[in-house]
Structure formats: structure tokens, C-alpha cells
Amino acid sequence: MPSRVDRRMLVVVAILLVLGGGMLLFVEHSRRQTLPPGIASGNGRLEATEVDVAAKFAARLAAVGVAEGDDVEPGQEVASLDARDLAAQLRAAEAQASQARQVVDEARAGVRKAQAQFELAERSLRRSNELVGRGFISGERLDRDRTALDSARAELTQANSRKAEADAAVAAAQARTENLRVTLEDASLKSPITGRVLYRLLLPGEVVAAGGKVLTLLDLSDVFMSIYLPAGEAGKLRLGSAARIVLDALPGEPIPARVVFVAPRAQFTPKEVETRNEREKLMFRVKVQVLPEWLREHADLAKPGMPGLAYVLTEPATPWPAALTPR
């Protein structure tokens, strides 16, 4: 059985909790009520766009070069796949391409030879025509020269055909080589953004399926907060208009932002979002994005997941109060 002193302590703690909660509600209510006309606000949490780094083809994960929380830059290798079989295929394809180029050289030599024979046959036929006209040779010799010219023409046609086939074989070998080279480059998984590692989803040695996720990154250049406003306020917003975000952890540091999205349809308000009037059930989602230039200067200040308030201008001409003016 709890003693009388313990019961008194429990009562005191309960009273303090109630008073603390009441004070928070009062402060929140006062903060909302002191907003000048033309400014609306809503609760939310900072979010950042998530980008998955995935494997293009199925392979065994050879290495992961970053840990959760590490910052990464565009083009930085964050993981690699075991692609020794692809490297062997690439070497074989390069050898085949080299052989195909040798065949092309031989085919070109054959074309030059056939072309020379064809030109020689043409000259022989012209001389035979002149000599037959003068009566120096018989018509039988002229027929033989005509047959030789036809044979040389056919040989030249075949030589050109062999050269075309060799050129096509070279093109196919080069295409296969390029395809394997690109695929081999894809074995090195690189970060597409400037961001931070949120999750490591696989460990070295695990087999990754084609399209399988290896890492999830946060795009720290796209940080935003979603709030919910009633139709009367959401309908007055303009895309691109100025906004401010005040985080609970940084009450004296208003963050410059802008309105980038207003939902075209109303939806039921999520349970974790407080509204000014509990009777307002349908609200419009508004996305407020932190300005990139502020993020570049305060990369480690505003972290995704931090709760706070976002303020938006429902009347563009309304000046920001001093408390919401960035320093």
C-alpha cells in the first residue's frame, strides 16, 4: 500500500502536469491570437525529399562506403556491386570487336582489289572494241573481254557486300562493348544528390535484386513542412508567396520559406494536427518549402523531423511582424 507521503507526491505531480499543459495551451492560443490579419499558421514537422539508391541489375553487394548520417555529394560512390562476371564479358566483347575490325580491314582490301580488276577489265574491253573495229582481233576476243568485265563487276559487288557485313559486325561488337561498359559502370552506385544517408538497407555480401534499394538518402536541398488550413485561408494563398517556419527547438530563428503547393481538394485533418476550431473537419494541405539559400548557410540547423509552426500570408500586402522577420 502506498504511504500518505507517496500519495501526496502523486497529487502534486499530477497538478504540475495539468498546470504545465494548461500553460502550453495558453501560450499556443495566445501566439495564434496575436497574429495580425492576413497571416495564417499551422502545425507540422520538417520533412525532406527521400531518394533511394538502387541497383540496376541483380548482383551481390560488394561494399557500402557510407554510414547512416553521413553527408554525400552528387557523383560520390556510396556502394558497389560485385561485377567480376561483367568485367570478363567486357574483355571478351572487346576481343570480338578487335577481330571484327580486322575482318573489316581484310574486306576493304578485297574491295580495292576487286575495284582494280574491274577497272582493268573496262580498259581491256575498250581496247578490244577499238581493235575489232580496225580488224586486228576477232569478235571472240571481244566476247571474252565482255565476260571478264561482267565477272569483275560481280566480284566487286560481292566485295562491297562482304565489307558491309564486316562493318555491321564491328558496329554490333562495339554496341555490345559499350552496353557492357555502361552496365559495369552501374555496378558503382553513386549519389545523385547532395544529401544525407537516412537508411542503410543492405549489408555487404547480400544479394540485391534488379531495382533493389541499397540506401535511402535525404535531399537536404528540398526541406519543407506540410500544414493544414481551412478553405477560407487556403483559398487566399498564392503559390510562391513568402512564408516563415518557426521550429520548437529554434523559437527565435524564423526560417524564410515559400508556398509551393496548395492541395486542390480538401481532406480530413490528420489527428496529430491541431486546428483552430475543432468543428473544422475538412482542411487543405499546404506545402511550405524552406528557401535553398537559407539551407546552404544553415545546413545543420534545421533537421527533418523537428516540429514547429509555419506561417503564410493570406494577404500579400501584410507586413511580417518583427518576431517573424529573419535575422
Which triple of cell numbers denotes residue 238? Answer: 498564392
Which triple of cell numbers denotes residue 310? Answer: 509555419
Residue by residue, pLDDT tens for the chain (327 residues) are 445 555 666 655 566 665 555 454 444 444 444 678 889 999 999 999 999 999 999 999 999 999 999 999 999 999 999 999 999 999 999 898 888 888 888 888 888 888 888 888 888 878 877 777 666 676 777 778 788 888 888 888 888 888 888 888 889 989 999 999 998 999 999 999 988 999 999 999 999 999 999 999 999 889 999 999 988 888 889 899 899 999 998 888 899 999 999 988 877 666 555 554 544 567 899 999 999 899 888 877 878 889 999 999 998 888 999 888 877
Coil, strand or helix at 16: helix
pLDDT at 29: 44
pLDDT at 77: 95
pLDDT at 269: 61
The DSSP symbol for 66 reads: -
pLDDT at 191: 95
pLDDT at 279: 45
Q: Report how far Cα 271 is from the mean position of its chain's Cα atoms.
A: 33
Buried b (16+ CB within 10 A) or exposed e, 232-246: ebbebbeeebbbbbb
Q: Determine contact, residues 56/212, Cβ cutoff 8 Å.
A: no
53-82+188-214: same fold as 34-49+220-324?
no
Containing H/E element for 296?
Answer: helix 292-297
pLDDT at 145: 74
In CATH, which of 3.40.50.2000, 2.40.50.100, 2.10.260.10, 3.30.60.50 is domain 53-82+188-214? 2.40.50.100
**Domain range 34-49+220-324, CATH architecture:** Beta Barrel (2.40)
Domain range summary for the chain, segments of one domain joined by +: 34-49+220-324, 53-82+188-214, 84-185
pLDDT at 39: 92
**pTM, to two decimals:** 0.63
pLDDT at 81: 95
Distance between CA atoms of residues 38 and 118, nearest Å? 91
Task: Please state, as a whole number, how many other Cβ atoms lie within 10 Å of the Cβ of residue 316.
Answer: 11
Q: Which residues pair with 195 in a beta bridge?
A: 72, 219
CA-based end-to-end distance of the chain: 57
Q: Which residues pair with 72 in a beta bridge?
A: 195
Q: Which amino acid is at 117?
A: Q
Distance between CA atoms of residues 44 and 287, nearest Å? 10
